[in-house]
Each structure stands twice: as C-alpha cells, then as structure tokens.
C-alpha cells in the first residue's frame, strides 16, 4: 500500500512539474491594435541647416511590449509621421523618454502578465513564468529590495540585446541620431560595439545611437537613481559624457540628474551645446500635486526651492536649467517624458523644451506628442 501511495504521489508530482514546464514555456502572441497616432504639440524656431531636437513623448502600455517587433511598429510609426512633416534630416537628434527600454523586461511574456490588475501581480507572473531566470537573479540580487532587483536583472542579457537592436535599428532606419531613452541594467557597457549587461549594481542608463545605428560612446548612467537604496549621492563609477553629433555637442542628464546645477557646470566644461533629459513621473495627477523635494538626496546649496512651495511640474521647469544662462551655457535642451499606464501605475509628466532662456511646453495631459526645436 505504501509503495502504491508513493508511486501515485511521484506520478502526480511529475505530471504537475511537466504541466508547469509546458505552461511556462508557452508564449501565445495575442492580437493587439495599438494607437499609432501622434500630434505635433510644440514646433519652435525656423528650419535651417543646423538641425533640430525632436522629442517623442510616446503613449505606451504593457501590451506594446509583447514583442520588440510590436514596440518597433509603434515607435517607427511616430518617426514616420515626423518624417512626413519634414522634421527629420541628417542633423536631427531624436530624444526618447526615461524607462522606454526598461519595460523590455516584460517582452515575450504570457497573456496573464499583460492582463494583470496591478504591477505587483504582473511581476509575480514574470517570476512564475521564468523560474530558472528568476532564481538566478534572486541569488545575485543586491540592496534591501532583493525582489525588485531580481525582477530588473533576471532578463538583462536579452533586454540589452533587444534594446540595441530596436533603438539602434530605428536610428539607422530613419538616419537620425537617437537618444534611446533609458534602460535599467546591471553595470551596462559597450564592448566591441555591443551593449552588454554585467553582474554588478543596477544602473538606469541610456545609449546614444548614431545615424548608422552604432552606439556613440559608453552608456550614460544616471548619477542619482531613484530606485537605488544608497542615498550617499553620486556613484563613483558614474560620470557625465558629452558626445559629438551632427547638430553639436550633446550631453544627457537622466531624470532628476537635471535638478543639480553642478551637472550643468560639468557639461559646460566639456562644451555641451545641447542637453537631452529623458524623464519619467509616475502617479495619477502627480504633475499638479505639491513637489516633495529631493527624495532623500542632498539638496544643492544654490537651490532655494522648498518642498511644497510649487507643484511637481513647476519644480521640473524651475530646476531644469537647460539653455538658461548663466546656469547653463547650452544652446538648447529638451525634457521628454514617458506617457501611458503600466497596470496601476499611470504616468504624469509633460514634456518641454528650452531655448535662449525660454521654455515651451505641451499642455495636453494625454496622447502621444512630438516636440520640435529648430536649432
């Protein structure tokens, strides 16, 4: 009798494991009709031979990330519409928002993940359908939030490969210089022309791709990542890079890195003429809510803005110093935000550009937007 029970239990266990393995391996591709429309919301300056900054504020949802091909279709449609309006040329610098590449972590997943009600539920499905990758990531996870760390690093090699293929491919396809938004990877680096993920700490980073689709320089890492558990300030391995583009020398400040005057001084020292700020603000209506300050990071001595004195949107406009002499000697700059909703986490930022001490903003809260500045 005991042997019979043992045999029955073993067969049931094997059947359950086999079913789970088959379920985890199955990746059905559901049909999804995405909105490919985009509106030119801001168009400043006069066309000349000096090029332009073109910000793409996409409206994205989890289903846009079911495959890199699906995301390519949407972003390529935006670029095609910009091209049809005469906004692309050999000196165009296109800027995409913060974390547009990070969500590649959910690419190729099961329908249950995209249909989840909350981000937490979606991450549970991510781990459940990739048990081996999640286990490996959990063992190497760092910081106090090991679960979040594991989710971000578990597919990092595939994410790095997809990021370069997608955004480098778009730069080459439309013959533009592309600031490819950001992606969170462990110790990202460019080796032999390829973006690679390491095994150390996570960094929120961006790569600038040239008109031939190749990376220009090393990834720009965020100096003060908001997901980092260490509030000690700038990481030793991070530095600000300036890249030569057909439109001029370009510097990139990721997210709240654009709030620190010292970063603009470093860009000025390297002769930066243009500044791109990929950004992301999460939370329903947060843009109009009171600003809460620097989130634990040290407050620059030259900043007198107090928490609660202005809204989040007003703080972004006041603290971002692109093209505001003497704080920044750059000719122009643009802050581009990610819009859309990822489960229960809606976005709230509104993109804006700076030129000759003036700012021009998109006032619409919804929908995909183009912002153009002729140099």
3-state secondary structure string, 278-294? EECCECCCHHHCECCCC
Contact (CB, 8 A) for 151 and 127: yes
Query: What is residue 166's three-state secondary structure?
Result: helix
d(C-alpha 332, C-alpha 53), whole Å: 8
Is residue 336 within a helix (H) or strand (E), and if so which, with residue range? strand 332-337
Count structural domains, the chain. 1
Closest CA to 53 of 215, 250, 342: 250
Query: What is residue 194's three-state secondary structure?
Result: strand
Bridge-based pairing state of the strands 208-209 and 220-221: unpaired
Bridge-based pairing state of the strands 369-374 and 39-44: parallel
d(C-alpha 87, C-alpha 175), whole Å: 12
Residue 30 lies in a domain: no
Residue 371 lies in a domain: no
Residue 345 lies in a domain: yes
Is residue 231 within a helix (H) or strand (E), and if so which, with residue range? none
Contact (CB, 8 A) for 295 and 238: no
d(C-alpha 249, C-alpha 271), whole Å: 7
Question: Which residues lie closer than 8 Å to 162 by C-beta, 6 or more apart?
Answer: 68, 104, 107
Count of CB atoms within 10 A of residue 233's CB?
A: 11
C-alpha torsion 114→195→339→344, nearest 10: 40
Tens place of pLDDT for every residue, the chain, 375 residues?
555 444 444 444 443 434 444 434 444 555 556 779 999 999 999 998 999 999 999 999 999 999 999 999 999 999 999 999 999 999 999 999 999 999 999 999 989 999 999 999 999 999 998 999 988 888 888 777 888 899 999 999 999 999 999 999 999 999 999 999 999 999 999 999 999 999 888 999 999 999 999 999 999 999 866 554 443 344 444 789 999 999 999 999 999 999 999 999 999 999 999 999 999 999 988 999 999 988 766 788 888 899 989 999 999 999 999 888 888 999 999 999 999 999 999 998 999 999 988 899 987 767 899 999 999
Q: Where are the alpha helices (DSSP H) in the chain?
A: 2-25, 68-84, 111-114, 119-128, 131-140, 146-153, 156-163, 169-174, 261-269, 312-319
Query: What is residue 375's three-state secondary structure?
Result: coil
d(C-alpha 267, C-alpha 180), whole Å: 19
Is residue 241 within a helix (H) or strand (E), and if so which, with residue range? none
d(C-alpha 75, C-alpha 167), whole Å: 9
Residue 18 lies in a domain: no
Closest CA to 339 of 281, 291, 266: 281
Residue 25 lies in a domain: no
- The domain in which residue 292 lies consists of 39-365
Q: What is the pLDDT of residue 301?
A: 80
First to last CA, the chain: 84
Residue 358 lies in a domain: yes
**Residues linked to residue 278 through DSSP beta bridges, in sequence order:** 336
Cis bond before residue 326 (omega within 30° of 0): yes
Q: What is the pLDDT of residue 229?
A: 44
Q: Could you tell me the CATH number of the domain that includes residue 300?
A: 3.60.110.10
Q: What is the pLDDT of residue 226?
A: 55
Residue 191 lies in a domain: yes
Q: What is the pLDDT of residue 366?
A: 77
d(C-alpha 62, C-alpha 308), whole Å: 33
DSSP state of 145: -
The DSSP secondary structure of 85-100, one letter per residue, reads TT---TTEEEE--TTT
Query: What is residue 371's three-state secondary structure?
Result: strand
What's the sign of the alpha-carbon dihedral 358, 297, 195, 268?
Answer: positive
pLDDT digits (tens, 9 = 90+) for 143-171: 778 888 999 999 999 999 999 999 999 99
Q: What is the pLDDT of residue 3?
A: 53
pLDDT digits (tens, 9 = 90+) for 330-357: 999 999 999 999 999 999 899 999 998 8
Q: What is the pLDDT of residue 145?
A: 82
Residue 4 lies in a domain: no
Q: What is the pLDDT of residue 323?
A: 81
Closest CA to 119 of 302, 373, 353, 341: 341
Q: What is the pLDDT of residue 143?
A: 74
């Amino acid at each position: 009798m005991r042997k019979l029970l043992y045999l029955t239990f073993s067969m049931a266990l094997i059947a359950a494991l086999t079913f789970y393995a088959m379920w985890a391996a199955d990746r059905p591709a559901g049909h999804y009709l995405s909105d490919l429309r985009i509106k030119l919301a801001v168009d400043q300056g006069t066309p000349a031979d000096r090029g332009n900054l073109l910000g793409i504020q996409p409206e994205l949802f989890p289903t846009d990330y079911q495959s890199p091909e699906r995301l390519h279709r949407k972003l390529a449609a935006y670029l095609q519409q910009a091209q049809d309006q005469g906004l692309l040329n050999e000196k165009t610098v296109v800027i995409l928002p913060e974390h547009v590449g990070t969500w590649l972590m959910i690419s190729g997943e099961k329908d249950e993940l995209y249909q989840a009600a909350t981000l937490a539920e979606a991450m549970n499905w991510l781990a459940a359908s990739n048990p081996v990758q999640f286990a490996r990531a959990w063992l190497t996870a760092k910081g106090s939030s090991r679960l979040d760390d594991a989710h971000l690093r578990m597919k990092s090699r595939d994410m790095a490969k997809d990021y370069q293929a997608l955004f480098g491919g778009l730069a080459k396809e439309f013959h533009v210089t592309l600031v490819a938004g950001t992606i969170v990877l462990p110790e990202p680096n460019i080796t032999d022309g390829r973006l690679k993920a390491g095994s150390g700490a996570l960094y929120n980073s961006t790569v600038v791709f040239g008109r031939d689709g190749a990376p220009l320089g090393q990834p720009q890492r965020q100096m003060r990542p908001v997901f980092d558990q260490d509030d000690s300030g700038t990481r030793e391995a991070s530095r600000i890079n300036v890249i030569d583009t057909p439109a001029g020398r370009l510097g990139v400040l990721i997210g709240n890195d654009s709030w620190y005057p010292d970063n603009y001084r470093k860009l000025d020292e390297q002769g930066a003429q243009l500044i791109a700020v990929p950004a992301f603000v999460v939370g329903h209506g947060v843009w109009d809510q009171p600003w809460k300050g620097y989130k634990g990071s040290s407050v620059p001595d030259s900043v007198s803005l107090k928490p609660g004195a202005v809204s989040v949107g007003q703080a972004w406009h006041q603290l971002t110093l692109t093209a505001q002499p003497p704080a920044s000697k750059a000719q122009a700059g643009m802050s581009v935000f990610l819009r859309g909703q990822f489960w229960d986490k809606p976005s709230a930022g509104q993109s804006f550009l700076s030129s000759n001490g003036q700012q021009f903003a998109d006032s619409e809260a919804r929908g995909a937007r183009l912002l153009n500045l002729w140099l």
